[in-house]
A = this chain, B = another copy of it.
């Protein structure tokens, strides 16, 4: 039941003139590391330092260059990298503001996209902003944390597969595919929570259960908003007519798009479930109250008349002939039994027993 408090996305920059890069995030920014990976079908090289000198060299070669920046602490260096590729100041601002909206923008010479990567650790969801800048044969990526794509790097390094034979757009596709895959894991977590709640609503009648349902609904709403953005971005990438995205790659993007549609359908189904949970809880509660009322009424309806009778013959009038009649006592007992029988028959009629 423990999901992340979705970080409040309100910019704390209010008041500052626009266009000045400042790191905005609520986690402590992690030390910036730059990894420059260069590969083609034949070779693979990896460098761990950003050097503009190398860059010129890079652009001459016909291989794919992937510049990955992890950690957003070192604003100066990030600005340097961006300036080297002539990135617009507003884009730099978005990269550094980890509360930017997920989006994709086409600047002609480069495509810029912001995504939210989610991972799960100890039932806690960790949300992280990842930004990509796709240039011709170059991909620059920025992540808040350390190593979100180490598996992919490993894959490029050791396997001479399709990725080594394709351009930077296919690399982008692979990275986005990894991000989308992670959403499925979170979806599974949400489905488990839904299953747990499905049992809870029938057994635990307390405001705690309502709290859990509500928190589940909030998590789900948060998830659906992300899915929605993701879907729009991937859809845009699939349909883009940018020369940066190869025609072949469009097919792969369409595949990722299908996955986001799957995610979105599953999330809608979960939403229906969540609505149902509340309904079940409430109607079950009503059932319960109804049941309690029935028991109370049965007991009361049987014993109140009986008690009246006993109380009646407890009166202290001097002249109550029944009291002195030798059969008075057994007759009264008989009358009481009759009352009980009548009441039980009445309940049978009303189908309360």
- Interface set, chain A 142-197, CB cutoff 8 A to B: 151, 155, 159, 161-163, 173-174, 177, 181-182, 184-185, 187-188, 191
Q: Is the CB of B289 within 8 A of A286?
A: yes
Pick the residue among B8, B205, B322 that contacts A191 (CB under 8 A).
B8
Which listed residue, B101, B159, B283, touches A285 by the CB 8 Å rule? Answer: B283
Is residue A300 within 8 Å, beta carbon to beta carbon, of the partner chain? yes
Write the A291-316 contact mask toward B (1 if CB under 8 angstroms, else 0).
Answer: 11111110111011111101111111
Surface stretch bound by B, among A32-40, A60-68, A133-141, A271-279: A271-279
Copies of this chain per assembly: 5
Query: Taking A290-B205, A301-B295, A310-B315 as contacts, is the C-beta distance between A10 and B101 under 8 angstroms?
Result: no
Q: Judge whether A273 and B323 touch: CB under 8 Å.
A: no
Q: When each residue 72-101 of chain A gets 1 if its CB lies under 8 Å from chain B and 0 otherwise, what string results?
A: 000000000000000010100100000111
Taking the complex as formed, is A235 at the interface, i.e. its CB lies under 8 A from any CB of chain B? no
Alpha-carbon distance A306/B309, docked complex (angstroms): 10
Stretch in contact with the other chain, from A121-129, A236-244, A260-268: A260-268
Tell me the complex Cα distance, A167–B208, Å: 58
Contact-residue size bin, chain A (C-beta under 8 Å from the other chain): 35 or more
Q: Is A206 an interface residue (CB 8 A)?
A: yes
- Asked if A109 lies at the interface with its beta carbon under 8 angstroms from chain B, I say no
CB-contacts of A1-39 with B (<8 A)? 8-11, 13-15, 17-19
Q: Given A90-B255, A308-B310, are A163 and B292 neighbors across the interface (CB < 8 Å)? A: no
Assembly CA distance A296 to B291 (angstroms): 13
- A148 smallest CB distance to B (angstroms): 14
Restricting to A293-346, which residues have a CB under 8 Å from any CB of B?
A: 293-297, 299-301, 303-308, 310-320, 322-324, 326, 328-329, 332
The distance from the CB of A111 to the nearest CB of chain B, in whole angstroms, is 15
Cβ of A48 < 8 Å from any Cβ of B? no
With contacts A19-B162, A311-B311 known, is A9 near B266, CB below 8 A?
Answer: yes
Task: List 23 contacting pairs A-B, 8 Å CB cutoff, sorted by A.
Answer: A10-B266, A11-B184, A14-B182, A17-B155, A17-B162, A93-B255, A202-B211, A205-B287, A207-B280, A214-B280, A218-B272, A222-B269, A292-B293, A293-B297, A295-B301, A296-B300, A300-B304, A303-B304, A310-B312, A314-B316, A318-B324, A319-B326, A319-B329
